[in-house]
Structure 1
Amino acid sequence: MTKTTDTDPREEMAHLIGRIGSDGDMEAFEQVFRAFGPRVRAYMMRLVRDPQAAEELMQETMMTVWRKAAQFDAEKGNAATWIFTIARNLRIDSYRRSRRPDFDPNDPAFVPDADPTADQTMEARDDERRLHAALEELPPEQRRLLDLAFFDEASHSEIARRLDLPLGTVKSRIRLAFNRLRATLGDRS
């Protein structure tokens, strides 16, 4: 396509992109590529400072122009704005992909806990029996406070409200209950 002096370059680019979108016109795409490829590459080079990455992002941008040319609307903006918006969005996507850590199936967060061994299971049952026995030795009011705090997951202020007790009393009685449990259970290190 030869340029005439009275043709607006913006209108010409819009026309070329229209031909790409409607007919898949390879000649029109070559003209758009020659006009924008180097500009997009320079833009990417300023952003990524890596010639290979800039080249890949430019190629991806121009392929997106080829695939999405039918979506271009000259009424909404000019071709350069549309193409550089595509380039910018691809750069952002590339940056996000590079910042995302690779999935590691051996990450402890994804590896299930090993089943406890027989001796660990027996020790846990023994600890559980000892704890239940120690809880039974507590005065009923202290046992009730621990039940509310740990089994019902009530806050100290909620327990105080429920039992119509001062907040400080609730806290001190829970502390006393813990001290008694520690004394009954002993320090198992």
Structure 2
Amino acid sequence: MKLVSSDPDRAAAPDPAQDWARLVRRVAEQGDREAFSQLFAHFAPRVKSYLIRTGSADALAEELAQEALVTVWRKAALFDPAQAAVSTWVFTIARHLRVDAGRRHRLDGAGDECFEADHLEADQPEVPDHAHATRQARRVREALEQLPPEQAQALRLSFYDDEPHARIAAELGLPLGTVKSRIRLAVAHLRKLLES
């Protein structure tokens, strides 16, 4: 499978009423190739474009985009629309593949040369780095305490507990848009507090 363009605007415009979750369900339950074809046509060019924007070379971006969509085919049954949108799920798969590829590249970078322990990074940060990280963590905690409680709660659930926005909305009994707004406002407020 060859991706035609890294520009998502050049790809065929999807039907605005397209139900991506329904297509993933058809792939999961029936191995529906037509449903997968629609998912591939829509997401592959967008994933490739995202990967290029995040620093991947064109060939690697294409390879990772294809691998991401193959993962969608293989793991469609694991998709839970209550946890995230299809686009979020697909781009998360792509991001993980990009991170893994970066790790492999760093590990493979030594080639067949002799292994030298001196080239390994330390497990623990240097003392000045550790002291800086400790100070920064204290500043973040103090800034979080200055946020309105509802913003701090949404931010903690999203960033510290790594909860998807949809789950936070369900847990707090709030509309999804409200949760996203609170997190966005909290991040902006936190940034201002940390810059001062």
TM-score normalised by structure 2 residue count? 0.48
Q: Which has more radius of gyration?
A: 1
TM-score normalised by structure 1 residue count? 0.49
